[in-house]
Amino acid sequence: MSLAAKLKVGLFSLRIGVFVVMIMWTIDKFVNPGHAARVFQKFYLIEGLSVPFSYLVGGLQLIVVLGFLVGAYKKWTYGTLLILHGISTLSTWQMYLDPWGPRNLLFFAAWPMLSALFCLFLLRDEDRLLSLH
């Protein structure tokens, strides 16, 4: 397999992997809006997230995530997810201070995903396998 073919397959696999995580976080806003409200309150200091607002955020996120999946408007969809996930990763900074204490070690999984999003954003023009381009 050529380097170009490997790059296409590798970028596609990153896009699918990131999509799986992002779609679950999106679905959570519809299935469990109370959880979304608690996340917004704890990590983003936004209190009183209503169910309709959770649905609105979830709807907007769904549009971006599906655009990301199909490789549409890559500069905007890849860039938006990179920024949103970057904010999400940095806003949970307290979780990294004592990962073996009462905190959750799984928060560290946000960093490789942030790296994957950064890589996809940088190489978005090369991410052409099963992609709108």
- Each residue's pLDDT tens digit, 39-76: 989 888 888 889 999 999 999 999 999 999 999 999 99
Convert the pLDDT of each residue in 16-35 to its tens digit: 999 999 999 999 999 999 99
Q: What is the pTM of this model?
A: 0.92
Closest of 34, 2, 17 to residue 120, by C-alpha: 17
pLDDT of residue 102: 74
pLDDT of residue 110: 95
Convert the pLDDT of each residue in 107-118 to its tens digit: 899 999 999 999
**103 pLDDT more than 80:** no
